Chain A
């Protein structure tokens, strides 16, 4: 059983060819094979959200996704958000509002919030809480994370331009 196969993984627009057995998770493929370590391993059992990445735009837990399931799909990690070296407004808000302390949960939070805002550009505070509640943070008490996300939502509402850029 379980022969190695060549997995073709597209991450942040780059193609990675990874020799692996079926039991490798997307998290392991990203961190150990593609050497993209921005995605964090906090519990490995799907209960902290630190490993959240986008799979065809949908936020998923990389620790509970087989790497093989990600084949032929677009994977986006925290390293793939910035454009031309510029952080997205959401990343910038996390920096400016003090939403980052130790920073270990930040990539997962930012990926979850990125997916949320792509789905729903103007979520209520309660909806932001509900959608981010699968991401644990032990440092900030969440207040400044919530504030950073709300600031982006408000800024978007002010710029009434319908054609929003990448978040």
Chain B
């Protein structure tokens, strides 16, 4: 067992007190002298050509400082994935969904900006629109982007092994279809941006609620038509992201544009309704899963077809569909697999990355089908999962290198904790339990920025400063990085200070997505701390007349291992170091790039996607009110292999949040879009769970020690969002014998299904599943 002092401890986030006291500053809390306020004007039709925009009434309103339309800005598209850029900050000729940005206004106060936006008149030529991906791919459907006449902007066809042979060898082959809905990330902080401009140097500074400052910097520079070194992106505190703050948005571009045009700082803050309709959502997805198994339930072949409803633009489309394809390859060992995926444009709100990015949908389908198959062939669903569980060190059909894997242990632990043997199929009607499994990479490594850098500086008085590009969006990334540095330098957490996510002062970082921060940015910080040691410790070794390798650091002291009294305080060491002939600052530099065998092309190549992979199984116990159809989740268990947690308290917080988020996906949440317009774009009508819905939750840690993670760590909190929904729906099947195939399972659906079931039973006809 490792002896650690700071890593592995339950420590509060380093800025928790500031947040508890109202001192933490989010973007909308910032203000600059002379600041102006912006507001966007949005399309009122789902699809059409812009004929004319009349801004005169808005400009005539006292206090209005400027109006901007798509015709006024450079014809440059942006997007997360370079090859799939398809979005203008303001629409130029055509609008593609209700809410598409067509103009922006800026005024002296928010009230005037809001009024001015309402005075902008837009004349459209309406075009036929399409709202369902399965309609959009049909011949003759309205074309949303000319570049893609079939509305399919990305397609992927991955084949591993020999699927036909696999099916031929199977004792049973089943094909089932599923649907997963549009889910909104709903971070509590609405998206915001504040930009200022220095006319002497042509420098922009933007404070913005973003998860990837470096992507934003590049997208802003490209679309504004300025060199990248003229844009500095600073991320203040971010009030939750969950993937919704990956992209650049109109507010970022327009704040910068007006800041330069008007030589005054400009702030944009989105309304909650705009967060719902006009940022990003989890892609609705139609899935068909065909699976061949042997008599025991071993999966011999699988063919998955997925149609993702992308909405009006690509956002992360190629990445989303790639992740969706690759991560159905874990946690089960499936040697023969085809994944056929399509990202389809519709005239609807835009799909983007959301916790699990492209994978919660197929995970729901697969985990539901495992239960269905188990029932049909008469095997136990837990045993079937164990039979198919992937193991560490096995050759992987897609080329993944899995050094550590606690999946099978997690299945067993979750099943035991939920009371599988005693309860499954044995609870009274209306009560039931279910399980589902999943896995997740620690960082997707096949993107342009796949590395992280870090700088650690050691000051004479013992203060440690860390510079990191990592973007803390509330998950505690900064705390984890500081813990790693503190551990390595032998100081308490309070001595470590971090400046992060400021592209003007911090080293490059890939940003917060794909669960890569702890492993990637953590390893970079570890390497920078090692560099500090490499500079200081030889000096100390000389001083103490010992071997360098024998030195250890803890409690602000550097000493000889096993002889704690033979050492010196860190302060003393620094004083000696700097008063000797080496009065230079001790600055450690570090970087981390995942091992180099990743695929570099998203859609065509295979390989090891991530430095390591986390594994988890979740179990749920539910109670169904058969009078009202309401499902209550009583208990949830997560058994989780995230390697060695750097901070178990923060890991638990991630698991709890993802269980309740997954419960929302299963039962409560649906961005209900009718004729291209969301009918519940508010916290009142989009009912994500409150504390009253929170089930009793239990976390179980499955111990592994990963060789590539810093101090053995792997990702936590994203993979755990994948399995709660299927676990809950599997539990509902156990409770009432109805097999649901679409999300969310609403009380109305439950009641209708119960009624049908009763009618069928009355008619004494052999029961057919609801699927």
Question: In the complex they form, do A and B come into direct contact, defined as C-beta atoms under 8 angstroms apart?
Answer: yes
Which residues of chain A are within 8 angstroms of B660 by Cβ–Cβ distance? 141-142
In the complex, what residue of chain B is closest to A104 when comparing beta carbons? B239
Question: Which one, A48, A78, A95, A140, contacts B12 given CB within 8 A?
Answer: A95
Q: Does A72 contact B (CB under 8 A)?
A: no
Which residues of chain A are within 8 angstroms of B31 by Cβ–Cβ distance? 35
Question: Which one, B23, B657, B691, contacts A133 given CB within 8 A?
Answer: B691
CA distance A27 to B31 in the complex (A): 16
- Interface on B for A, CB 8 Å cutoff? 10, 12-13, 15-26, 28-29, 31, 110, 185-190, 237-240, 242, 269, 271-272, 473-476, 649-650, 652-653, 655-661, 682-684, 688, 690-692, 694, 697
Which residues of chain A are within 8 angstroms of B652 by Cβ–Cβ distance? 98, 143-144
Which residues of chain A are within 8 angstroms of B23 by Cβ–Cβ distance? 38, 79
CA distance A82 to B603 in the complex (A): 54
Contact (Cβ within 8 A) B188 A102: yes
CA distance A136 to B275 in the complex (A): 16
CB B477 to nearest CB in A, in angstroms, measures: 11
CA distance A139 to B238 in the complex (A): 12
CA distance A142 to B664 in the complex (A): 13
10 interchain residue pairs of minimum CB distance: A38-B22, A102-B474, A103-B19, A104-B239, A141-B656, A78-B22, A141-B660, A37-B29, A47-B683, A142-B691
CA distance A138 to B190 in the complex (A): 12
Which residues of chain A are within 8 angstroms of B658 by Cβ–Cβ distance? 141
10 A-B pairs, CB-CB below 8 angstroms?
A43-B682, A87-B17, A96-B12, A98-B10, A98-B13, A103-B239, A133-B691, A139-B653, A140-B657, A141-B660
- Interface on A for B, CB 8 Å cutoff? 31-32, 35-45, 47-48, 50, 77-79, 81-82, 87, 91-92, 94-96, 98, 100-107, 110, 129-130, 132-146
In the complex, what residue of chain B is closest to A111 when comparing beta carbons? B22
Which residues of chain B are within 8 angstroms of A105 by Cβ–Cβ distance? 188, 239
In the complex, what residue of chain A is closest to B684 when comparing beta carbons? A47
Question: Which one, A41, A103, A143, contacts B237 given CB within 8 A?
Answer: A103
Q: Known contacts being A42-B189, A98-B652, A101-B657, is A136 close to B683, with CB within 8 Å?
A: yes
Main secondary structure, interface of A, reads loop
Question: Which one, B15, B242, B649, B694, contacts A103 given CB within 8 A?
Answer: B15
CB A26 to nearest CB in B, in angstroms, measures: 15
CA distance A138 to B186 in the complex (A): 7
Contact (Cβ within 8 A) A100 B189: no
CA distance A82 to B17 in the complex (A): 11
Q: Known contacts being A45-B682, A47-B683, is A79 close to B653, with CB within 8 Å?
A: no
Which residues of chain A are within 8 angstroms of B650 by Cβ–Cβ distance? 98
Contact (Cβ within 8 A) B242 A132: no
Contact (Cβ within 8 A) B16 A129: no
Contact (Cβ within 8 A) B20 A91: yes
CB B292 to nearest CB in A, in angstroms, measures: 38
In the complex, what residue of chain A is closest to B657 when comparing beta carbons? A141
Contact (Cβ within 8 A) A91 B21: yes
Which residues of chain A are within 8 angstroms of B190 by Cβ–Cβ distance? 41-42
Which residues of chain B are within 8 angstroms of A78 by Cβ–Cβ distance? 20-22
Instruction: Point out which of A102, A105, A136 has the most chain B C-beta atoms below 10 A from its C-beta.
Output: A102
Contact (Cβ within 8 A) B188 A110: no
Q: Known contacts being A37-B29, A133-B691, is A50 close to B188, with CB within 8 Å?
A: yes
Contact (Cβ within 8 A) A142 B656: yes
Contact (Cβ within 8 A) A77 B22: yes
